[in-house]
C-alpha cells in the first residue's frame, strides 16, 4: 500500500506491469493509483519532482509481540487528508486521484468533506491543489483544479460534475511511454508553473 523510495529494480518492474496492462487489457484493470506511483518514482529518479503517496492509515487494535510484532487485529481507516503531496518547481502540490466508470459526469460522493477542507487550506497557504480524475470508460484522465470542484460543490445542488465541465476546466493528460501517466506537464500548464 505504501510507495517505497525508488530503487531501479522495483521501478522497472512496476513500469513493465503497467505497460503490459496497457497493451493487453485496455483500460480494464489498469489502476490509476499504480500509474501515479510509477510516474512519481520516475519523477524522483529523474530529478523532476518529489511527490509521494501517503500510506493508507490503519487503526491497529492488537499486536502479538511473541510473533515479532505481528499485527493480528487492525482495520483500514479513511485517509484523513489526501493521497498525494510533494514539491515541484519549488511549489507545494497536494492532490487526490479518483476514477469513475460513468461517461457523462463525475460523481462527487466519493470526495469527502475533510478532503475539501484540507485542499482549501492548502490553497490558502500558497500550495497547488487538484484532482486527477479518470473517466475509465472513456480512457481519459484529467487534472482538475481543486478550486473548481470546491466552487461546484458550493454553488450546485447536483451530486456530480458534468463531463463537459471537467473537459473544459481541466487538462487532459496525454499518455506517454515513460512514465505512462505523465501528469506533471498538465499540472504545469493548468497552474502556470
Q: Does residue 120 contact residue 150 with C-beta atoms inside 8 Å?
A: yes
In the range 130-189, which residues lie near a copy of itself by CB under 8 A?
none
CB of 89 to a copy of itself, least distance (A): 7
Residues near 182 by Cβ (< 8 Å), separated by ≥ 6?
39, 42, 173, 174, 175, 176
List 13, 26, 55, 156, residue binding a copy of itself (CB under 8 A): 55
User: What's the CA gap between 17 and 15, in Å, rounded?
Assistant: 5
Which span (69-77, 142-150, 152-160, 179-187) binds a copy of itself, by CB under 8 A? 69-77
User: What's the CA gap between 20 and 111, in Å, rounded?
Assistant: 30
**Binding of a copy of itself at residue 9 (CB under 8 A)?**
no
Binding mask 11-50 for a copy of itself (x = CB under 8 A): ---------------------------------x--x-xx
User: What's the CA gap between 83 and 67, in Å, rounded?
Assistant: 31
Q: Does residue 113 contact residue 13 with C-beta atoms inside 8 Å?
A: no
- Going by their DSSP bridges, the two strands 140-145 and 171-172 should be labelled as antiparallel
CB of 104 to a copy of itself, least distance (A): 31
**Binding of a copy of itself at residue 81 (CB under 8 A)?**
yes
Binding residues for a copy of itself (CB under 8 A): 1-5, 44, 47, 49-50, 52, 54-60, 68-77, 80-81, 85-92, 94, 114, 117-118, 121-122, 124-127
Amino acid at each position: 500500500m505504501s510507495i517505497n523510495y525508488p530503487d531501479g529494480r522495483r521501478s522497472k518492474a512496476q513500469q513493465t506491469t503497467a505497460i503490459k496492462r496497457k497493451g493487453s487489457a485496455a483500460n480494464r484493470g489498469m489502476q490509476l493509483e499504480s500509474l501515479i506511483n510509477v510516474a512519481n518514482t520516475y519523477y524522483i529518479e529523474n530529478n523532476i519532482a518529489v511527490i509521494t503517496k501517503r500510506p493508507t492509515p490503519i487503526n491497529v487494535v492488537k499486536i502479538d509481540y511473541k510473533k515479532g510484532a505481528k499485527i493480528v487485529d487492525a482495520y483500514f481507516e479513511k485517509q484523513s487528508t489526501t493521497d498525494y503531496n510533494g514539491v515541484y518547481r519549488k511549489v507545494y502540490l497536494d492532490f487526490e486521484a479518483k476514477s469513475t466508470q460513468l461517461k457523462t459526469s463525475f460523481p462527487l460522493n466519493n470526495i469527502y468533506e475533510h478532503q475539501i477542507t484540507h485542499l482549501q487550506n492548502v490553497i490558502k497557504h500558497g500550495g497547488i491543489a487538484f484532482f486527477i480524475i479518470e473517466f475509465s470508460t472513456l480512457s481519459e484522465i484529467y487534472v482538475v483544479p481543486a478550486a473548481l470542484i470546491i466552487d461546484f460543490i458550493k454553488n450546485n445542488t447536483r451530486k456530480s460534475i458534468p463531463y463537459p465541465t471537467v473537459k473544459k476546466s481541466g487538462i487532459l493528460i496525454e499518455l506517454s511511454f515513460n512514465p505512462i501517466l505523465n501528469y506533471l506537464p498538465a499540472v504545469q500548464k493548468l497552474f502556470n508553473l
